[in-house]
Structures are given as structure tokens and as C-alpha cells.
Amino acid sequence: MSSTPPAQLHLAVALDGTGWHPASWREQAARPRDLFTAGYWADLVAEAERGLLDFVTFEDGLALQSSRYGEPDGRTDQVRGRLDAVLTASRVAPLTRHIGLVPTVTATHTEPFHISKAIATLDYVSTGRAGLRVQVSARPHEAAHFGRRAFPPITTAELQDPAGQERLTELFDEAADYIEVVRRLWDSWEDDAEIRDVATGRFIDRDKLHHIDFEGKHFSVKGPSITPRPPQGQPLVTALAHQAVPYRLVARQADVGYVTPHDADQARALVAEIRTAQESAGRADDPLHVFGDVVVFLDDERTAAEDRRARLDALAGEPYTSDARIFAGTPAQLADLLQEFAEAGLSGFRLRPAVAGHDLPGITRALVPELQRRGVFRTAYEAGTLRGLLGLARPANRYAATA
């Protein structure tokens, strides 16, 4: 009698500056002088691809990084400044062959038309490996960069009260419309809209370009896009969620949702909540991955990882805290944790390297071989697109005439 093979895990890595610990730039492996060069990011993504990871995400924002939630902090002892995530992903794309590239975009102050063609372009440049991570912004100083809207200051505590929840709901409803516009624009060209027939002089079939005519509370977008339908049809849409309001966004519009459980019971509860919201959104039959985010300090010995975390905390002048579970230990111990979380219903993980130059190689050269020995992670890339790596079919075009 054959036993059921263990479930295969999906792995992504979240890239942010020199790493997720605020003192990471002071580590020997960090390369802070290279942080704003294309080569730095190309090297990180090449390392992730060497480990056969499904995709990388690139963090981004509309203001300088801050240790305070809703306002700048004025600190000069931590990394400040970023390259644009979409442009970085596009620069790295031709240097890679298999790994997915998922830049972060802030829906609150950008236009879905611009982002739809940017991500469609990334999908072409990468031959079918593009996605995006959608986030919102309630911060007044970010709104001030654009001058179109004014947001009153809000604390994390105030986000939990009824007025804060109402404000949050408004932002995430806007993000849901934003994604809907982006998705419709990706479909606004049918797959065979381009004829390119030199003899007849016909380049496109105009009947296969469609107005999307989206009219909503936040956007009015006619379409069609100026960019033909992306190679994947629909690039990957992902979002990070911490509570009921963003869980609904994940359930309504995402292909992958990132959650931050701190133990297996919490992971089980979060997955159940998202599945219930998915059913309420009428998407019960649609594939939706739920990934757990984990910050990782990886070393050959647990004490070495814990000591490194303590040393970085001392350099930062305060203990590092995170929305996600912080793990400090060995690759085998991390593999145990990931398998425990997977049994609670998570289909994959987005790991946040505490120090990119140290912990990313720890993931690719130690954790991945450990997971492969356990038979729960791929030994070669099995698909040519990001959707393919995640077992997601290429969707039909919503505007194409059905037979």
C-alpha cells in the first residue's frame, strides 16, 4: 500500500534593501555601497533563482522608510531610499530565466492604467514571469507628494476603532477596484488581436481590442490598453494581509495572499478566514495560494543565529520586531516549522532574509537542499511561467467571443 507523497511547498523571498533587520546594512555581507546599482539586485535574484525559488518580491513605497508607522522618523543610522521596484524588476528580468518577479505597487496614489501596462511590459520582458504586490497607503506625508488627496494622521491603534476600520475599508475597496481595472486592461486585447500581415498591411484586428468601460466610485477607465495581452494572460496578483478588511481583498482579487501567523493554530485560523471570504466573494472554485511570511536568521547552529540577531539589535539600539514570525535557527529547524505551518493549510512561504547577503544564501544553499531531502521542494524548474510554477492555468480572456 503506497503512502501519499508529502505536499510540495512553494517558496518566495521578499527583497528589501540590505535585509529586513534595520541594522543589516552594517553587516560584512551587506554591500551597502552597491545598494543602488543594478548589479546588486541582479545578484540577489540570481541567488534566489539558483535555489529554484518560485518568485521574489521587491518592496517599495511612496516615502522614505521609517521606524514609525504613520510619519517620517528622521533617522540617519538606517537605510533610507529605494530604487523603483517595477523598473528594478524589468532591469533584472533579462538576466534571469525561470524565477518570478513581483514588484510592489501602491494602489492608493497611482493609476491602474499606468501599472497595467508596466506589469504587462514586465511580463513581456521576462517572457511570462511577472506579477505585482498591491499595497495601500493611509499616510499623510505620502499623500502630500501628490497633492490630490489629504489624509488625516492615523495610528495603528486608531486603525482598529470603527472610524479607522471604515477608512481602511475605503482604501481596500479602492484597491479592489484598482486590481479589477488592471485585470480588465490586461484582457482588453484578445490573444490573437495582432495580425502582423505584411502582405495585406493589417497589423491588428481592431475588433479584438475592447473598451473596458469601467465605472466605479474611484476610477473611470475606458480602455483598451496600449499593450497587447501579457504572455501569462493575467500576471500574478498578490497582497499582504493582516486582518479582516485586507483578507477580503485577497479573497476577492488575489492569486496569492501573504499572511503573518506566529504559530500553526493561527495559520489554520487565517486560512479558514480567507477561504470563507473567498466563498463569500463567489471565488470558491478559483485557485488561491495562502503564503506565510517569516523573517529568517539562518545559521548552522541556533546559538549563532540568536547571537547574530542580538548583535544586530544592539547595533540598532532596540530589539527588532516584526508583523511576521521571526525565526532564528538552523535550516533543518526552519524546515520543521515550514512543514508544521503547511500542515495547517499554507501552500507556500515568503521568507524575509534578515540580512540579504547572509540569509538569502542560507535559504538557497541550506534550507532548499534540506526541503529537497524531505521530498517537499522541486529539484528543477518545471514550468516556463510564474503561473505555471504555482500550478495556475492561463485564464481565458473575458472579452473574447465564446463559441
Pick out the residues of the known binding site for FMN.
60, 104
Q: Which residues participate in the annotated binding site?
A: 60, 104
Q: Is there a contact between 397 and 190 (Cβ–Cβ < 8 Å)? A: yes
- Decide: helix, strand or coil at residue 195: strand
Task: Establish whether the linkage from the previous residue to 224 is cis, with ω within 30° of 0.
Answer: yes
Q: Which of 397, 354, 60 is nearest to 232 (CA)?
A: 397
Q: Which of 115, 125, 49 is nearest to 89 (CA)?
A: 125
Reading the block at residue 40, the C-alpha cell is: 546588486
Q: Which of 361, 363, 332 is nearest to 349 (CA)?
A: 363
Residues 46 and 53: their CA atoms lie apart, in Å, by 10
For strands 55-58 and 100-106, give the pairing: parallel
Q: Alpha carbon of 197 to those of 201, 202, 205, 225, 289: distances in Å?
A: 6, 5, 11, 22, 41
Residues 394 and 388: their CA atoms lie apart, in Å, by 8
Q: Alpha carbon of 289 to those of 230, 302, 343: distances in Å?
A: 21, 30, 14
